[in-house]
């Protein structure tokens, strides 16, 4: 395919190369899916003639695409389905029985709905762990977004080997597919549901395949108790002994950590992905964000699935990541809004092992871009642009979304998804699931 040239002109560009690296009235030239140049505007929109397709973003704000670094997109089908229950009851009596009835087609349609919601809220990449992942990959491929897809692995007494072989086959089919927009990770569910020897095999397979690992880590206090009771060690120690801390690791939640565990996660080649909305809704607790930040732990943000978060909206995740530490520490100075937006962009890119090509606006990076319009009552006027995004903005400010140099949302028109069809399919499938489980 011939490389197309696309120019986004006139926006205030937040390059995420430092809080002061802001370019007013910018010009971003995109060629063949990559950012070719970033700088001040060199000519008027009309002056490009036939040389480029031009998006006039005068007066708007341009940021790197948001990265939702922990989600189960197909769980949109379970949005609002089981509310106000204790966590174990929620899981064992509602969510797991419903999930056991999900067909591959359910996962396909639920994922399409999740992708539509993520595009509308400025997310260009997401890290998903679920089952029926071929259908998730199809949905990603068709809709033009970017994703790191991890087949969820929960081994039974004799199923470990078969699960790993299926994951290997999935990686062979999809790693680097969809013009490089899909990458594969391995998804052992958590240290309390996967025995240590299985985790060690996952670590070996990830090294052999050259892919990362996506796992839930220290989400609840109960889980740490279970891990101790079953295997005699805490979750982080389990991961260390399995060899998982040495490779690319995306560790979701990280709510209950001790000081030495925070230190152990400092040199992670991926990131700890905090999911504050889900942690609050499920009563899991509050992650020690400031302590992790001070220790230099690489941090990213995720929403988790719609059943535990209500929405796949990274603006909510950013807002809570900024607000919760202030409430806990009673210190209104930290974390700075810039640092929170960085977690949702460059930090997410690192969680996916793609910090060299995603998360900042620089020549040579992939052109995953979001145009925000902050000239609306809830976000106007703008004194501090980072605070405006983190504290005031939401999906309603997202105007145009570009992935790999191609618009998937243009002036709030969704270009790659038949939304009425997806919503009708999901409604029918969600009702059937709810009726079957009760």
Q: Which residues bind Zn ion (CB under 5 A)?
A: 304
Using CB atoms, what's the residue nearest to Zn ion? 304
Q: Least distance from C-beta 326 to Zn ion, angstroms?
A: 25
In the bound complex, what is the minimum distance in angstroms from residue 349's beta carbon to Zn ion?
A: 20
Nearer to Zn ion, 38 or 309 (CB): 309
Q: Which residue lies nearer to Zn ion by CB, 23 or 167?
A: 167
Of residues 14 and 129, the one with the C-beta less far from Zn ion:
129
Give the shortest CB-317-to-Zn ion separation in angstroms. Answer: 13
238, 231 contact by CB (below 8 A) = yes
Which of 302, 89, 125 lies closest to 215, judged by CA?
Answer: 302
Q: Is the peptide bond before 291 cis (omega within 30 degrees of 0)?
A: no
Q: Which is nearer to Zn ion, 99 or 304 (CB)?
A: 304
Torsion angle of the four alpha carbons 302, 307, 312, 318, in this order, in degrees rounded to the nearest 10: -50
Strand (E) or helix (H) holding 327: helix 314-329
Smaller CB distance to Zn ion: residue 272 or 371? 272
Q: Which residues pair with 343 in a beta bridge?
A: none
CA–CA dist 325, 102 (Å, integer) = 37
* Closer Cβ to Zn ion, 344 or 401, answer by number: 344
Query: Nearest approach, Cβ of 70 to Zn ion (angstroms)?
Result: 6
Minimum CB distance to Zn ion, residue 348 (Å): 15
**Residue closer to Zn ion, measured from CB, 304 or 404:** 304
Site of tokens 């010009």: 27
Q: What is the DSSP annotation of 15-34? A: -SSSTT-EETTEEEEEETTE
Rounded to 5°, angle at Cα 227 from 186 and 222: 105
Give the nearest distance from C-beta 189 to Zn ion in angstroms: 9
Query: In 197-318, at which residue ranges do the beta strands (DSSP E only) sit?
Result: 212-217, 249-253, 271-274, 299-301
Shortest distance (Å) from residue 68 CB to Zn ion: 11
Within 10 Å of residue 50's Cβ, how many Cβ atoms?
A: 5
CB of 304 to Zn ion, least distance (A): 5
By beta-carbon proximity to Zn ion, the closer residue of 132 and 360 is 132
Distances (CA, A) of 65 to 197, 282, 348, 350, 398: 37, 28, 10, 13, 11
Q: Which long-range contacts (CB under 8 A, 24 or more apart) does 328-336 make?
A: 328/286, 329/290, 331/290, 334/290, 334/293, 335/289, 335/290, 335/293, 336/19, 336/386
Tally the C-alpha atoms within 13 A of residue 323's C-alpha that lie toward its C-beta: 12
């Amino acid at each position: 395919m011939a490389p197309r040239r696309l120019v986004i002109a006139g926006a205030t560009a937040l390059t995420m190369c430092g809080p002061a690296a802001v370019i007013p009235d910018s010009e971003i030239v995109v060629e063949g899916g990559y950012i070719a140049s970033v700088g001040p505007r060199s000519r008027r929109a009309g002056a490009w003639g036939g040389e480029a397709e031009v998006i006039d973003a005068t007066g708007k704000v341009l940021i790197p695409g948001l990265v939702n670094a922990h989600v189960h997109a197909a769980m949109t089908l379970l949005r609002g389905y089981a509310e106000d229950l204790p966590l174990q009851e929620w899981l064992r009596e509602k969510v797991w029985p419903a999930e056991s009835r999900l067909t591959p087609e359910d996962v396909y349609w639920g994922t399409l709905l999740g992708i539509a919601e993520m595009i509308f809220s400025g997310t260009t990449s997401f890290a998903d762990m679920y089952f029926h992942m071929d259908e998730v990959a199809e949905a990603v491929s068709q809709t033009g977004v970017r994703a790191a897809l991890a087949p969820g692995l929960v081994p039974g007494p004799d199923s470990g080997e078969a699960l790993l072989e299926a994951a290997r086959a999935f990686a062979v089919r999809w790693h680097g597919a969809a013009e490089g927009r899909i990458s594969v990770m391995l998804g052992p569910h958590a240290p309390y549901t996967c025995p240590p020897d299985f985790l060690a095999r996952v670590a070996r397979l990830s090294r052999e395949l050259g892919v990362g690992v996506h796992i839930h880590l220290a989400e609840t206090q109960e889980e740490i108790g279970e891990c101790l009771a079953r295997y005699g060690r805490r979750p982080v120690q389990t991961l260390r002994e399995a060899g998982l801390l040495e490779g690319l690791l995306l560790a979701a939640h990280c709510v209950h950590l001790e000081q030495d565990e925070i230190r152990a996660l400092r040199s992670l080649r991926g990131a700890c992905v905090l999911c504050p909305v889900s942690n609050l809704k499920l009563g899991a607790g509050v992650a020690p964000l400031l302590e992790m930040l001070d220790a230099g732990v690489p941090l990213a943000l995720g929403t988790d699935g719609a059943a535990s978060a209500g929405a796949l909206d990274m603006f909510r995740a950013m807002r809570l990541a900024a607000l919760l530490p202030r409430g806990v520490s009673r210190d209104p100075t930290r974390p700075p809004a810039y640092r929170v937006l960085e977690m949702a962009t460059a930090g997410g890119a690192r969680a996916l092992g793609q910090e060299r090509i995603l998360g900042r606006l620089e020549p040579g990076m992939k052109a995953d871009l979001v145009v925000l319009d902050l000239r609306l009552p809830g976000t106007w006027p703008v004194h501090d642009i980072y605070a405006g995004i983190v504290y005031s903005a939401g999906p309603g400010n997202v105007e145009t979304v570009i992935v790999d140099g191609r618009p998937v949302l243009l002036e709030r028109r969704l270009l790659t998804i038949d939304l009425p069809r997806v919503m009708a399919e999901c409604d029918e499938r969600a009702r059937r699931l709810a009726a079957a489980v009760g």
